[in-house]
Structure 1
Amino acid sequence: MEDDMAVDANNEKRVLCEKIIRDINAVFLKDADLASFEIIPKETNCNKSPVVHVEHNLGLESWCAQHVYDHAHRTLISHRRQTSQQQLRTLQQQQQSDALAKYLNVALLINPDVTTFWHIRRQLVQKNRLSINKELQFSALVLSIKPKSNEAFAYRRWLYSFQSADAIDWPNEISICERSADRCASNYHAWSHRHWVLRSGPCLLQSELMRTEKFLRKHISDYSCYHYRQVLLGRAYELCFCMPSGEAQPQLGSLLELLAEYGLPCEPNTEALIQLMLPHMNRSSVSVQRLRSFLYCCNVAAYDMRLCKEQRALYGPRDCFELHRRAALKFIVEQCVRLQTEPRTATMDNSLQLDKFDYGQHPFLEAVRQAESALGGKHQRWCNLHLNFGYPVAEATWRD
């Protein structure tokens, strides 16, 4: 009799789970603009549907989440075993694919870290049983509850391999990365995906510089964002990116302020800046576009140095401020050295150029070297190591 009661209880649980899964599937069919999914904390069943759907937001009460997931998991694993034995013949029927998709939806929304389930979705996409656009929407829904899901980001990149770059909504992809990073601090997977967007998409440099600045002012200790911004700066210089010629002058304010801080006031025009920062450059070997990009990128780096100073004044000293300031300083010094050094073979790196560079012959770089020496022994050691400034670091400063 106890066995019969256990069987009845299991049947009731199975029927309940199937009903909940049908309710969730009905929401997917009814609302094509679902924006988020959440597990709603609730410990007991109140004799009503645990599926909540309000204004494009889907929720599932927590008391049933584990039961529903276990049921969907068993169903999917059983299906995978059967299809493996039958050489995936069941995937040829759209009706079975639709039934499979509803279990996948529930299982991955509750636990998106199961690689096997994402692999089943890939098989369905390859069989044209699932729409790529709907899959992009579903993976974004997964990221709304699990913003650090590497599987979801990897799935999005895989889906985009079937589309041309012109057909991809790159700004929307950036927005998804930003929302994920905003919801979860130091979200490595979101920032890695954003790196991929930057490499794969069209020129997003200007908008990305603006967006990352706003993000840093809100998330002051997000090291991933600081690193991404450094990559942005290097990418901008690599692509010779700069503002349109009519907008060049207003964009140099931060660089002029930095020069003034180093005791080198300069006329606010391009020629004066180049003459001050690159006095020994061979003009015939450097294009006008490269010089304009150099000034633009140095201005961004100078802006970041000032931003770190402002953040330090507001929030106190933090390693992230110091490290990012050093990265910006290193960028300015390295580009100045590179443009004033005779072309070398591709195998000779920046450190070798810095080793043989005489800062004393260049007023701007010598002023930088003198000013940076006032920031303490620890900073001097860093400058010696990465910029070859040649400070005579005394034994006492090693204890700073």
Structure 2
Amino acid sequence: MDENGVLCEKIINDINAVIERDSDLSSFEIVPTIFNQNKSPVIHIEHNLGLESWCVKWIYDYSHNKIVSSKTSKQQKHNNDTSVVKYLNVGLLINPDVASFWHMRRQLIEKNRLMVHQECQFAKLVLSKKPKSSEAFSYRRWLFSFQSSESIDWSVEIGICDRCADKSSSNYHAWSHRLWVLQKAPPSILKSEIFLTEKFIKKHISDYSCYHYRHSLLEHLFEQSFYCDIDNVDSFSSLKDFINYCQVVTVSTTDEILLTLLPKLTEALNKNNGTKLSQRILQQFQEKVKSFLYCCNLAAFDMKLCDELKNLYGARESFENHRRASLKFIVDNIVKMNGIKVIDQCSSPVTKLCKYDYTENEFLLAVKKSEAMLGEKHRQWCSLFLGFDFSA
């Protein structure tokens, strides 16, 4: 081995010694330097790992050659498995977009040469350097297939996604991974996600990836019939403000909100309460209605938030698009909920969806009139996506 090879081997060993010694490593960065200062280029300070830039090219090329040669080596397979790990560590920290390197790590996991929890930590370290690494996110999802949902700390996973999105704007891979977490994680994370995404929107006003995730979160909440603080009238303040803005008649109670938004369904439930519907079916309806109110209140809050941000920062496409998405959520679900027909419990199914004409709903007509005031371009959007006919 020549002098350069000896130096590269020493640096690689130093990096791996830090990785093995510090199980709480939180970040990796390449530190810009020009010259070799006759000291170790590996920097380890308070769970942070750094590597001086002057040696990056040399040790990456050296690691790459070692990994490639290990595939064709005729040495004993077990020895190849154990020795190639340190080169994979360095190679992926510097360049995490090499899919074949991640595939080799998968093979090592399947052979029990690497531990799943250590690999989760390593992938997190890689993402601290390159927060848009699709391969690292994909590897994390693959690692979770070896673990039960109860054993995974989903809040940590959300935190990783949040940090990656914070470091790199429009981080499609981080938000896609977060959507995957949303589908897999228990409902206990939903409430915190509402507050975290609101905080992120206020900090990154032009990052539409978060707005899209926020809308997907809202859809997921309603799909899961999620609600909280339903007995607190103030929890519907945004929805009440939106209703009162659109209509001349003022609503102040939950019953008045329901009668305004869901007049037909409210009437049907009152008729069937305790008579034609079983208690179980009635409870399911009540939970769905509570979730409807809760989610529509969130959508109304987002509409108001977009207007407030517009007043602070000026008009932006992200504000307009998210306000429209929130409005569409409210209108679509009013139509959907009013289109539910409650039928006798001896029939099957208990409910069925019927075609619903929005012109039968006074509130939707008021929304149509209110939104028409926002200009021709917005009227065209309402006509296309909400079915509002402004020619009448």
TM-score w.r.t. length of structure 1: 0.88
Deviates more, 1:74-83 or 1:102-111: 74-83
TM-superposed CA distance for 1:374, in Å, is 0.3
| Letter of the structure 1 residue corresponding to residue 194 of structure 2 | L
Identity of counterpart residues, as a percentage?
50
Match of 1:139 among 94, 110, 123: 123
TM-superposed CA distance for 1:386, in Å, is 0.8
1:29 maps to 2:13: no
What do the CA deviations read for 1:364-387 (whole angstroms, capped 9, x no partner)?
A: 111101000000000000111111
Q: Distance in 1 between matches of 2:248 and 2:191?
A: 28
1:104 maps to 2:88: yes
What do the CA deviations read for 1:319-367 (whole angstroms, capped 9, x no partner)?
A: 11111101111111111111112559x9xxx9x94xx6142x3221111
TM-superposed CA distance for 1:70, in Å, is 0.2
1:219 alignment counterpart: 204
Q: Secondary structure at the match of 1:98?
A: helix
TM-superposed CA distance for 1:42, in Å, is 0.3
User: In 2 relative to 1, CA 125–366 (structure 1 residues): closer, same or farther, beyond 3 Å?
Assistant: same
Q: Distance in 2 between matches of 1:147 and 1:251?
A: 36
Match of 2:164 among 180, 185, 191: 180
2:357 alignment counterpart: 357
Q: Secondary structure at the match of 2:43?
A: strand
1:256 maps to 2:240: yes
| Letter of the structure 2 residue corresponding to residue 122 of structure 1 | R
| Letter of the structure 1 residue corresponding to residue 357 of structure 2 | F
Q: Distance in 1 between matches of 2:305 and 2:365?
A: 23
User: In 2 relative to 1, CA 358–120 (structure 1 residues): closer, same or farther, beyond 3 Å?
Assistant: closer
Q: Secondary structure at the match of 1:280?
A: helix
Say whether the 8 Å CA contact 2:230–2:294 is kept in structure 1. no
1:243 maps to 2:242: no
Say whether the 8 Å CA contact 2:303–2:323 is kept in structure 1. yes
Equivalent residues in 2 for 1:150-189 (5 A)?
Answer: 150-189=134-173
1:191 maps to 2:175: yes
TM-superposed CA distance for 1:82, in Å, is 2.4
Give the aligned CA root-mean-square deviation in angstroms: 2.1
1:269 alignment counterpart: 253
| Letter of the structure 2 residue corresponding to residue 118 of structure 1 | W
Equivalent residues in 2 for 1:330-349 (5 A)?
Answer: 330-343=328-341
Match of 2:33 among 15, 37, 42: 42
Match of 1:288 among 286, 289, 294: 286
Q: Distance in 2 between matches of 1:16 and 1:55?
A: 25
Deviates more, 1:264-273 or 1:178-187: 264-273
Q: Distance in 2 between matches of 1:14 and 1:342?
A: 73
1:396 alignment counterpart: none
Say whether the 8 Å CA contact 1:266–1:273 is kept in structure 2. no
User: In 2 relative to 1, CA 29–358 (structure 1 residues): closer, same or farther, beyond 3 Å?
Assistant: closer
Q: Secondary structure at the match of 2:2?
A: helix
TM-score w.r.t. length of structure 2: 0.90
Match of 2:326 among 312, 315, 328: 328
Q: Distance in 2 between matches of 1:270 and 1:300?
A: 15
